[in-house]
Amino acid sequence: MSFYKKFRLHKKDVHSPKEKNPEKKRVGFFKFSCCTGCGFELAYFQRSLKETLESFDFTFFRLASSAGSPEGPFDLALVEGAVTEPFQIVEIKKIRAASKVLYAVGSCAIVGGIPAIKALAPEMEVERAAYRERLYEMSSTRPHVIGDYVKVDGCIRGCPPGERDLEEALASVLIGKEPEFIEYSVCMECKMAGNACVLLEDGLPCMGPVTNAGCGALCPAHHRACYSCFGLMGQANVPALKGKFRKLGFTEEDIEKRFFTLFGALGETGQ
């Protein structure tokens, strides 16, 4: 479905007809410490690619263009990745100051994601496994989410995010409304999809009850337990699920050190 149709927009709502040369919205896309997957996801934004390019000017998007300046100003800044280096702290503040709206994109930026696993052990112990000579000059810090440093106007969750929230983000900026991002559990999506429950029926450690939806309950649909790649949702009942896992016979070690730390190494903060 097209971008415009989906949001029941008409082109005339978006650009007032009086404007002959409607200014396109200026978007900056910024990468911090991460896999660039969110960037690729946006670049592949295939079904809506044409509409997206008609309404937005990607004035900074290094993955897609060798031109453009990170200075802004931007109507919308999209930021992927966690903060793990001191220079990034300066950068994120500059980006915030140059942008009207700033959305964090992806689990790395929102809950710490995979890079945050580093926070589970003393910094140097983790770094030692990868570097020898340069170990003592590494300035890598404990991973932080974008919201620890600057105000974030919305979270496009996922690893990588689903198309729906990406579209919602762009649409909200286009028509100047508050975005409504998905904020319920994977279980809800799972039940709507009519999947068999892998937690109840197969005893698999499914994180669906506490994980933010948006993937369409992908893992249960493929007969595997959700591993929480979209991150914990707000108001997740974590103790209840931990109790359930205990009853299923999972060890305390598995519960504390595995399931809840793969995409939740920074704890329940970062929400």
Partner 1 sequence: MRIKTEYLGRVEGEAGVRFEIKNGRLAELKINIWEPPRFFEGMLVGRRYDEAPDIVARICGICPVSHMLTSIRAIEKAIWFEPGPETIAARKIMAYSQIASSHLVHLVMLALPDYEGKSSLMEMMSARDGAECGKNGETEKAKKTKKAKVKDLLKKFINVKEAFNGITQTFGGRALHPVSMVVGGFTSFPGEKEIDRLLSGLASAEDDLEDIAGLISELKPPRLETASELVCLSDDGGYAINGGRIVSDMGLDGTEEEYEELFEEKEASYSNAKKTRLRERGQIMTGALARVSLQSRWLGEKARKPAFSISLSSSSGKNPFNNIMAQAAELLHFWQECKKLLEASGAEKQKKQKFPGRPPAREGEGRALTEAPRGLLYHSYAIDRTGAIRKANIVTPTAHNYLAMEQDLRRLIEDNIDLPKERLKSLAGMLIRAYDPCFSCSVH
Tell me which residues touch partner 1 (CB under 8 A).
31-41, 43-44, 46, 49, 53, 58, 61-68, 84-85, 88, 108, 113-115, 117-118, 120-121, 125-134, 138, 140, 159-160, 215, 218-219, 221-224, 227, 229, 257-258, 262
- List the single partner that 205 binds among partner 1, ligand SF4, none, CB under 5 to 8 Å by kind: none
Single-letter residue type at 85: E
The answer to whether 197 contacts ligand SF4 (rule: CB under 6 A) is: yes
CA 133 to CA 42: how far, in whole Å?
37
Please give the angle made by the CA atoms of 61, 63 and 65, to the nearest 5 degrees.
Answer: 60
Tokens found for residue 195: 């999947």
Q: Which is nearer to ligand SF4, 15 or 141 (CB)?
A: 141
Give φ, ψ of 97 to 5 degrees. Answer: -65, -25
- List the single partner that 129 binds among partner 1, ligand SF4, none, CB under 5 to 8 Å by kind: partner 1
The site that binds ligand SF4 (CB under 6 A) totals a number of residues, namely 35
Other Cβ atoms closer than 10 A to 219? 22
For residues 182 and 231, the answer to whether their CB atoms sit within 8 Å is no
CA 205 to CA 244: how far, in whole Å?
9
Cβ-count burial 150-170 (b if 16+ within 10 Å, e if not): bebbbbbbbbbbbbbbbbbbb
From 218, 232, 255, 265, residue interacting with ligand SF4 (rule: CB under 6 A): 218
Side-chain half-sphere exposure of 177, counting CA atoms within 13 A:
11
Q: Which is nearer to partner 1, 153 or 206 (CB)?
A: 206
- List the single partner that 146 binds among ligand SF4, partner 1, none, CB under 5 to 8 Å by kind: none
Question: Which of positions 10-39 make contact with ligand SF4 (CB under 6 A)?
Answer: 34-35, 37-38
Sign of CA dihedral 63, 65, 68, 74: negative
Q: How far is the CB of 85 from partner 1 (least distance, A)?
A: 5
Q: How far is the CB of 232 from ligand SF4 (least distance, A)?
A: 10
Using the rule CB under 6 A, give the single segment among 1-9, 64-72, 163-171, 198-206 that binds ligand SF4: 198-206
Q: Which is nearer to ligand SF4, 59 or 211 (CB)?
A: 211
From 45, 56, 149, 227, residue interacting with ligand SF4 (rule: CB under 6 A): 227
From 155, 170, 219, 265, residue interacting with ligand SF4 (rule: CB under 6 A): 219
State the DSSP string of 19-53. Answer: -SSPPPEEEEEEE-BS-SHHHHHHHT--TTHHHHH
In the block, residue with structure tokens 């009086």: 18
Q: Which of 191, 171, 188 is nearest to 180 (CA)?
A: 171
In the block, residue with structure tokens 């200014």: 23
Q: Which residues bind ligand SF4 (CB under 6 A)?
A: 34-35, 37-38, 80-81, 106-108, 113-114, 159-160, 186-187, 190-191, 195, 197-199, 206, 208-209, 211, 215, 217-220, 226-230
